[in-house]
Each structure stands twice: as structure tokens, then as C-alpha cells.
Amino acid sequence: MLAITVISPVAFASEGEGVHNYATTFLFIAIILMMAKLSSLIERVGQPAVLGELLIGVILGNMVLLGINFFEPIKENPIIIFLAELGVVILLFQIGLESNIQKMKAVGFRAFLVASVGVIAPFILGTYLVGPWLMPGLNFSAYLFIGATLTATSVGITARVFRDLNKLQTREAQIVLGAAVIDDVLGLIILAVVSAIVTVGSVGIGLITLITAKAILFLVGSIIIGQIAAPRLGKLFAKINTGTGMKFTLAISFGLIFAFLAQKIGLAPIIGAFAAGLVLDPVHFRYFKDANIVKDLKENVKNSDEVTRKKILGILEPHADRHIEDLIEPLGLFLVPIFFVVTGMGVSLSTLANLPVLLVALGITVAAFIGKIVSGLVAGKVNKAVVGFGMIPRGEVGLIFAMTGKSLNVISDQVFSAIVIMVIITTLLTPPILTYLLKRKKMD
Amino acid sequence: MLAITVISPVAFASEGEGVHNYATTFLFIAIILMMAKLSSLIERVGQPAVLGELLIGVILGNMVLLGINFFEPIKENPIIIFLAELGVVILLFQIGLESNIQKMKAVGFRAFLVASVGVIAPFILGTYLVGPWLMPGLNFSAYLFIGATLTATSVGITARVFRDLNKLQTREAQIVLGAAVIDDVLGLIILAVVSAIVTVGSVGIGLITLITAKAILFLVGSIIIGQIAAPRLGKLFAKINTGTGMKFTLAISFGLIFAFLAQKIGLAPIIGAFAAGLVLDPVHFRYFKDANIVKDLKENVKNSDEVTRKKILGILEPHADRHIEDLIEPLGLFLVPIFFVVTGMGVSLSTLANLPVLLVALGITVAAFIGKIVSGLVAGKVNKAVVGFGMIPRGEVGLIFAMTGKSLNVISDQVFSAIVIMVIITTLLTPPILTYLLKRKKMD
């Protein structure tokens, strides 16, 4: 008797399970992508495309309220959920590529201040004010967790808004990006501390030091090692093949490996991807040329006179070195909208119908807003409102905290729902507010 | 009590399951991509990259024989299996885009002849000769299924070889592509007929007609409707947004929807993707321009004299209309190697160690080779060997037949293993043979 060999990924999932049928997943992806593009009509009224994607997601995700169940399976399709996650990883990688490490360093101190205030303020507001005030009589641990969920910024949405409005290179954008990285690290520490307090009753300084050291070591270490390794890897792989494919593969692998490392250490994978993008520099890919463009070029100028030929080649040859950003872009076009549409689909409008929960949620949301808006005040000579509101979106990290609280039996279902509503409101309100602030263009 | 809202695809799989951890999947994808590129060293000895990808897959997939288990989870990672399937769909879509529907029509009759002979010859060889001869005493149904598994060409590998060697535009390549589409349809009919014979004992002419009609209707219908719809959709969506993103999204959605439709009708999704690529024509996207390239251009020629400026713009403006192929390419660079590496990983070398099974497998393989080589003889005035050997690879469709036979209790585990070995051998031998034939360049 022989073991059955699995030969084709197309034909088998695992032995005996039979033939794959991805037809529906293909269809869902096509629908998400086309709906996302349709929603870019929102740009006509001056709003960023990301808001359109979120809103079309909200619509698709709540069609069930009108009795239309067709889109429901998307929410639980594990492949689409993965593609969404890969999408936000690619987005932050792209944003890292477009960011400049020198510029980031220049705003480093301000970013640290903004991150610290933006973590401490909402934590205090949540733990000592909004928690005890709106939900009296709960255990102190519950208030601690509510405070903790308010700390970490979800930078994906803000980054998309800056990008959609072509403002990624502003000092405000750099501060928000830097602060989001730092507050993810701070959030990691807070989660560990709060969890230790709840489970053990106290927390040792040793544990805090260890977690902090690990996180800082990862960020600083990966940037230093990356800067050393990237040019060498580029040179090494260029010996095998100098084509566009090699350049693309090296870059994307770098991003994925950093995302892997970040997650392994307990940070969000998007932080790793952002760091990878920051480390990679066009100069690491100077050995790679796009063979097709070079061929096209040579062919096209063959019949020109000497002077014109030189001029044309002078203008065009830099283009032959296709920017790594251009190569990653189609992957982003494919994956990034999936993240935002699926995020929008997660907004269950029926949650908003429970009045007591909604009131608690609004209280938490106000704390979430105020806590981050004040962080903008320490951003220095920039548009403080842009920085403050840019820090407002909460997402996966806050929900991870809330889930941890639930699993420790500290957070009830009602409080959890209120936190989810807070995430929804910060997610949907930030794009229009930020757009308004950025278009107003007043520096205060 | 409230239902828990799932807000972020990052944070939740389904309620209660907790936080996703895709770290390992990210790492595996990076490893597959980098290994695939490393394996392109095989191009140095004149072999196509696809052979390198298959071989590196075989190596990774059999490291377990050396006691290294690290790569084993890749084989069963459902996300990587999906990405592989999406990869071959994208590959056939790309190949459809690069193919010309007029050229395909020009070889239509020859493709039909090649497909018919290439289905009938191996079917007869398998059912009446190799089956009864190597495995005497089995039920006739078993021989029927063995014959059926030998019919359908798996065009992905041959297409990659043609592409790697820059031969996609040759008449031979067009015939093989056309014949592969047709023999998938014929295979569909054969599977239905054989299954009916096994289960009901006979088959009605009505069923055959129905299946044939459905398949032909899909292919012809999709091409006609596609040709009508594509320019209109292009014009419609260009009204929303004429950027690169819209162009990319329209094209990729078209490909995915066709893959969905094909699978719904019982054809391989790659056939649908190929048809979509064939239908789409650059002219459907003439409304879309790459805003960045246009801006770059205008900026660059500002200071040139009138004559030079006109010349440069004359050469460059077509480039501003970024080819849809260029936009899809990075997606292919990301996904296609995953398909071939994972396919290679499915080759279990330990299967080859069972002598009786191996002998049966070799017999079936000889039938698989001869049956398709003779189909090349009716290919007309082209390199007949290239067409014949180009038709040899068997893959998912053959395995689907074998699986169906197994589920009907007609195919034993041993016969199934022998069929798997046949698929392995045709998969691994075709690239070097085809490369040799194409480089010899003799037309016979």
C-alpha cells in the first residue's frame, strides 16, 4: 500500500478532501475590487478613496438587514480575510518605501512625545474617568482594560488618507507615522503590564524591561541590520539575475520577512512591513534594470539623429530602472482595497441599535478622541490638529486588547460591543475630518 | 445581550477564534519566492525558469527524507494552496492577454485536430492496451478511467516554457494553447460519459449533447459577450476614473469573473482566465492613462527645443498608456512561482520506491507520451515535435479524473499512485525536452 502523493495544489487540499473550488472566492474578490473602484466616485466630492472603500464595505456588509445574504460569506471567507491582512501589510510596506528614514529621524523626538501623550492621556481618561463614571461598580481591572484599548493608533487608515491626498511627505504625516510605530511598542508593554496585573495581581519591573528591550531591539536592530544587509543581498541576487522579477521578489520578500519577525516578537505585522519599507532604498536596487524598457528604448531611438538620441536616452534611461514603488503598486491595487472594504463590512449597523451600549460607546469614543487630540499639542511647529486627529483611528490592536480582556473574564460582552462601536466611529470619522483639516491648509 | 461585531479582518477569523497569526504564512511565501528566484540560476544552462521552480519545489518537498520537517506545513497551508491556484489563473490570463484572438482563430482548425487526436489516441492506448496489458484482471471500468486520465493536457507548464523562451507568438505555441482549451472541453465530456457508464452502466446521447453544448456555449458565448462588453465597460468605468488603478482593476476582475464562470460550468478556471485574456484587448483601455508618467513626461521635455520635444513625446506618449500586461506582471511575479514551487513540492520521491507501482506508472507514462506525440503529426506545417511534446504535461485535470475514479471505487490506491507518478514524469520531463526542441530550431 502506498501513501498517496499530493501532486498539484490545484487538485488537492489534503488527501481525500477532493478538488478545490475557489470559484466563489474569485467572484467575491472581483466584486470587492470593482465595488471599491466604483466607490472612488467619492473623490468627486473631495473625499479620499479610502472613505469610499470603507463605506461601500459598510453597505455590502449590512445588505443582510435588507434580506440580501449574498455578501455574508465574504466576512468569514478565510482566504479573503488573509488577502485583507496581506493588503494592509503591503500598504504599510509601500508607505515605508515612500517615507524617508532621514525625515523620520528628523521628527523622531516629536513623534516620541506625540506617542507618549497619545498613550497616557486616553489610558488615564479611560481607566479613571470614563470607565468608573459610565460603568460604576465594575472591577478596577475592567477599567484598566478599557483604558488600555484606547491607547494604540491604527495607522493604516490615516496613512491611506495622507496618501490619497498626496500629503505623505509632510512633516505632519511623518510625525503620525513615527508616533504610530512608537505607540504600538508602548501598547505592547501596556498589554503585558495590564494582563500581569489582572492575572498575577502585580507586575515586576523585570517583565516590563524585558518586553521593552525586545521591542526596541527589534525596531532598532532590524533597521540597522536591514541597512547593512539590503545592499549586500541586492548585489548577491543581482549576480543571479538582474531583471525586474528579481528586484520585485527581493523587495517583497524583505517586507514579508519583516512582517513575520514583528509578529513573532508580539508587534503588529504592519509595523514590521513599514520598517522594511523604511530600510529599503532605491539605491539597493541599482543593479537591476528592466530589460523590456531598455530594449524598447534602444529600438525607438535607432533612427534619430545623434543629438536627439542622446537627449532622449538622457531622459529615458532613468525610467529603465523601474522604481520599486511602481512594481509593488499593482500588488497594492489588488490587495489594499480588499482590506478596507472588508474592514467596512465588519461594521454591523445593528450594533448601534442598543441604546445603553451605544451611550457607553459614545463615552468611550469621546475619551478616544480627546486622548489623541491632546497628543497633537506636543507635535511642535506643525498643524497640531492634523497630527492629533491623524492619531485617532483605533483598530486591530485595540480589539486585540479587548479580546484579551474578554478571555481573562474582565471585559463583558456589552463593554466589548461598546469598544467595537468606538473602533467603528474612529475609523469612519477620521477620513472626512482629516480631509477637511488638510484641505483647509491653515497652519496653527 | 448583543451580537459581537466583527470589525477588523486583521483581528478576527470568526468570533471567539481570536487573533490571526499569519506570520508563518508570510515567511513561507518569502521563502518560496526567494527560492524560486535562486532556482532561476538554471537559465545559465539554457533551461527555462519554470524547470528551476519545479525542481526547487521537489527539493523543498522532499527535505523530510533528510529529516528536515520545516517545509512540510507549506503543502497543507490552505492560503498558500489558494495563492498557487490564483497564480496559475493569473498566468493563463497573462498568456491570454499576450495571445492574439486572430492568430488563435487562424490555427483553430489545426488546434481542433491536434486536440482530437491528442484525446482519442491516449484514451485508446490507456483503455485497450496499457491497462489490460499491465494490470490484467481489472474491471473494464478501471481501464476506462485510466484511459480518461490520459486525455487532458495541463497547459500551464508548456505555456510557461514557451513564455520563458520567448516563443509564445509562434504558430506552434498558438496551436498548443488552442488545443489545450479544446481538449479541456473534450475531457469534460469524457469524464461525464465515463462516470455515467460506471454508475448507470450506460450513457445517453442527451447527456453528452447537453455537456458539449454547455461547454461550447460558454467558450463561444464568453468570447462574443466579452468582446461586446469589454469596450463598453472600459468606457463606463473610465467615466469614474481614468487612472492606472481602474485599468488594472477592470482587467483583473474580468479575469477572475471568467475563471469563476468556467469553474461553475465544470471547466478548469484557467480556461476561463485564458478566454478573458484573449477577449481583452489594449484598445479597450484606451481611455486610461498613467497620470504619473504623463506628468513626468511633461516635466522632462519642458526645456527641450520644439523639434526634440515633439520627437520625445512621439516616442514616449504610447508609454504613458501603460500596457495592461505591465500592470498584471507584478501580480504574476508574486503568484506564479508559488504555483510551480508548490507543484514541485507535491512530488513525493518516496512514491518512486515501490517497484511494481513504478512499472505500471512507466507503462502509463509511455502511453501518455505516445498519445500526445502522435497528435503533433496533424499539426500541419509547423514543428510537429514541438506541438506533440507541448501537449504532454498532465496535471490537475488528470488527477481530478483519477480522484473521481477513486470515489467511484474503480481506481485502486496503487493505480492512483501510478497515475500520480505519470503526472510527475510528464511535468518534469516536458520543460527540458521542449527547450531542447525549441533551441534546435529545425522545422520538420
Q: Which residues contact B150 (CB under 8 A, 6 or more apart)?
A: B122, B123, B125, B126, B364, B367, B368, B371, B394, B398, B422
Tell me which chain B residues have a C-beta less than 8 angstroms from the C-beta of A298: none
pLDDT-derived band at A432, boundaries 50, 70, 90: very high
Over chain A, what is the mean pLDDT?
Answer: 83
Percent of chain B's residues with pLDDT above 70: 85
* Pick from B4, B245, B339: CB nearest A9: B339
**258-277 in B: which are within 8 Å (CB) of A?**
259-260, 263-264, 269
Average pLDDT over residues B283-298: 58
Q: Which residues of B32-60 are buried (b: 16+ CB within 10 A; e: fewer)?
A: bbbbbbbbbebeeeebbbbbbbbbbbbbb
pLDDT at residue B119, rounded to an integer? 94
Tell me which chain B residues have a C-beta less than 8 angstroms from the C-beta of A241: 37, 40, 43
pTM score, whole prediction: 0.83
pLDDT at residue B19, rounded to an integer? 46
Average pLDDT over residues A51-67: 92
User: Minimal Cα–Cα distance from B389 to chain A, Å?
Assistant: 20
User: Minimal Cα–Cα distance from A382 to chain B, Å?
Assistant: 28
User: Minimal Cα–Cα distance from B147 to chain A, Å?
Assistant: 19
Average pLDDT over residues B248-259: 93
Q: B152: left (phi > 0), else alpha (psi -120 to 50), else beta?
A: beta
**By C-alpha distance, which of B418, B423, B415 is closest to B139?**
B415
pLDDT at residue A430, rounded to an integer? 93
* Pick from A11, A237, A312: CB nearest B399: A11
pLDDT at residue A325, rounded to an integer? 82
**84-143 in B: which are within 8 Å (CB) of A?**
84-86, 88-89
Percent of chain A's residues with pLDDT above 70: 85
Does residue A420 surpass a pLDDT of 50? yes
Judge: B10–A395 Cβ closer than 8 Å, yes or no.
yes
pLDDT at residue B32, rounded to an integer? 97
User: Minimal Cα–Cα distance from A444 to chain B, Å?
Assistant: 32
pLDDT at residue A279, rounded to an integer? 85
Average pLDDT over residues A342-359: 85
Task: Kindly state whether B377 is in contact with chain A, defined as any CB-CB distance less than 8 angstroms.
Answer: no
Instruction: Give CATH for domain B23-68+77-286+321-440.
Output: 1.20.1530.20
CB B267 within 8 Å of CB B396? no
Judge: A4–B420 Cβ closer than 8 Å, yes or no.
yes
Does residue A290 surpass a pLDDT of 50? yes
Average pLDDT over residues B156-161: 89
- Find how far residue A264's CA is from the centre of its chain: 17
pLDDT-derived band at B4, boundaries 50, 70, 90: very low
pLDDT top residue among A83 and B442: A83
Average pLDDT over residues A427-437: 93
Distances (CA, A) of B219 to B174, B212, B233, B242, B287: 17, 11, 20, 30, 27
Does residue B7 surpass a pLDDT of 50? no
pLDDT top residue among B165 and B100: B165
pLDDT at residue A205, rounded to an integer? 80
Does residue B3 surpass a pLDDT of 80? no
Does residue A313 surpass a pLDDT of 80? no
pLDDT at residue A296, rounded to an integer? 59
Judge: B312–A307 Cβ closer than 8 Å, yes or no.
no
Does residue B5 surpass a pLDDT of 60? no
Least confident piece of the model among A19-23, A120-124, A357-361, B315-319? B315-319
Average pLDDT over residues A376-393: 94
Return the ∠ at Cα B393 (arms to B392 and B395), rounded to 5°: 140
Task: Kindly state whether A282 is in contact with chain B, defined as any CB-CB distance less than 8 angstroms.
Answer: no
Task: Kindly state whether A65 is in contact with chain B, defined as any CB-CB distance less than 8 angstroms.
Answer: no
A339-353, B142-156, B292-306: range with highest mean pLDDT: B142-156
pLDDT at residue A109, rounded to an integer? 93
Average pLDDT over residues B308-326: 63
pLDDT-derived band at A292, boundaries 50, 70, 90: low
**210-249 in A: which are within 8 Å (CB) of B?**
237, 240-241, 244-246, 248-249
Judge: B23–A399 Cβ closer than 8 Å, yes or no.
no
Task: Kindly state whether B24 is in contact with chain A, defined as any CB-CB distance less than 8 angstroms.
Answer: yes
* Pick from B312, B334, B399: CB nearest A252: B334
* Pick from A20, A85, A350: CB nearest B10: A85
Does residue B420 surpass a pLDDT of 90? no
Residue of A nearest to B303 (CA): A311
Task: Kindly state whether B51 is in contact with chain A, defined as any CB-CB distance less than 8 angstroms.
Answer: no
C-alpha cell at B220: 463561444
pLDDT-derived band at B352, boundaries 50, 70, 90: confident
Number of Cβ within 10 Å of residue A147's Cβ equals: 27
pLDDT top residue among B421 and B18: B421
pLDDT top residue among B12 and A40: A40
- Locate cell 477588523: which residue? B8
Q: Which one of B6, B7, B296 makes the best mutation probe of the A interface by having the most chain A beta carbons within 10 Å?
A: B7
pLDDT-derived band at B68, boundaries 50, 70, 90: very high
Handedness of CA A255, A258, A264, A265 (dihedral sign): negative
pLDDT-derived band at B285, boundaries 50, 70, 90: low
pLDDT at residue B416, rounded to an integer? 85
Judge: A5–B34 Cβ closer than 8 Å, yes or no.
no
Task: Kindly state whether A330 is in contact with chain B, defined as any CB-CB distance less than 8 angstroms.
Answer: yes
B40-67 tens-digit pLDDT: 888 888 788 888 998 999 999 999 999 9
pLDDT at residue A128, rounded to an integer? 94
C-alpha cell at B47: 533551461
- On whether the A84-286+321-440 domain is CATH 3.50.50.60, my answer is no
B295-309 tens-digit pLDDT: 555 666 666 666 666
Distance between CA A164 and CA B50 in Å, rounded?
Answer: 38
pLDDT-derived band at A311, boundaries 50, 70, 90: low
CB B160 within 8 Å of CB B47? no
Task: Kindly state whether A320 is in contact with chain B, defined as any CB-CB distance less than 8 angstroms.
Answer: no
pLDDT top residue among B363 and A314: B363
Does residue A17 surpass a pLDDT of 60? no
Residue of B nearest to A26 (CA): B256
Handedness of CA B232, A335, A150, A167 (dihedral sign): negative
Judge: B245–A37 Cβ closer than 8 Å, yes or no.
yes
pLDDT at residue B412, rounded to an integer? 86
Does residue B402 surpass a pLDDT of 50? yes
Q: Maximum distance among all alpha carbons in chain B?
A: 86
Task: Kindly state whether B334 is in contact with chain A, defined as any CB-CB distance less than 8 angstroms.
Answer: yes
Task: Kindly state whether A166 is in contact with chain B, defined as any CB-CB distance less than 8 angstroms.
Answer: no
B82-110 tens-digit pLDDT: 999 999 899 989 988 887 777 788 898 99
**391-410 in A: which are within 8 Å (CB) of B?**
395-396, 399-400, 403, 407
Task: Kindly state whether B355 is in contact with chain A, defined as any CB-CB distance less than 8 angstroms.
Answer: no
User: Minimal Cα–Cα distance from B253 to chain A, Å?
Assistant: 4
Please tell me whether the interface predicted TM-score (ipTM) of this complex is above 0.90.
Answer: no
pLDDT-derived band at A316, boundaries 50, 70, 90: low
Task: Work out the burial of residue B66: count CB atoms within 10 Å of its CB; fewer than 13 is exposed, 13-18 middle, 19 or more buried.
Answer: exposed
Q: Which one of A334, A414, A417 makes the best mutation probe of the B interface by having the most chain B beta carbons within 10 Å?
A: A334
pLDDT at residue A302, rounded to an integer? 65
**299-318 in A: which are within 8 Å (CB) of B?**
300-301, 304, 307-308, 311-312, 315-316
pLDDT at residue A120, rounded to an integer? 94
Per DSSP, A13 falls in state: S
Does residue B327 surpass a pLDDT of 80? yes
Does residue A228 surpass a pLDDT of 50? yes
pLDDT at residue A80, rounded to an integer? 96
Does residue A18 surpass a pLDDT of 50? no
Average pLDDT over residues A249-267: 89
Does residue B177 surpass a pLDDT of 60? yes
Does residue B116 surpass a pLDDT of 90? yes
pLDDT-derived band at A442, boundaries 50, 70, 90: low
